[in-house]
Amino acid sequence: NLGLEVMDVVNLRIMFGALGPAEGSIEAQVTKLAELQRKGLVRHIGLSNVTRAQIAEGRKICKIVCVQNQYNLAHRDDDALIDELARDGIAYVPFFPLGGF
C-alpha cells in the first residue's frame, strides 16, 4: 500500500500498559519483525514504549537501532537509559518532546 519494497525503519510499539511502558515479553513480536528483516522487507528495527528488560530481550533477537519512549521536561525517567543507549550506538527518539499535555 505504501508503494515501497522495503521499510527503512519499523518501530514496534508495545502497549502492555495504558500509561507507559509495562513489563511483558516481546519475543514473539520482535521475532516476526526479524523474519521480515531477513526477507529484506524491513531494513532496521526499533522499539517504542518499552522497558529496559524489553530492550535487552529485543537485542537478543536482532539489532535494535532506536528506542522511542515518552520524554520531555515533565517526563525524564529515561535519563540514564538515554546514556546507556548512546554508549551502545542506539538512537533515542522521544515522543511528546514538547510535552503533549
* In a domain? residue 2: no
In the chain, the percentage of residues whose pLDDT exceeds 90 is: 79
Rounded Cα–Cα distance for residues 63 and 99 (Å): 30
Beta strand spans in 18-74 (E): 42-48, 64-68
pTM exceeding the 0.85 threshold for the entire prediction: yes
Q: Are 21 and 50 in contact (CB under 8 A)?
A: yes
Q: Would you say residue 2 has pLDDT above 90? A: no
Domain span at residue 74 reads 7-92
Q: What was the pLDDT predicted at 13?
A: 95
Q: What is the pLDDT of residue 101?
A: 58
- Report the number of distinct structural domains present in the chain: 1
Asked if 9 and 43 count as a contact pair (C-beta separation under 8 A), the reply is yes
What are the tens digits of pLDDT across the range 5-50?
999 999 999 999 877 899 999 999 999 999 999 999 999 999 999 9
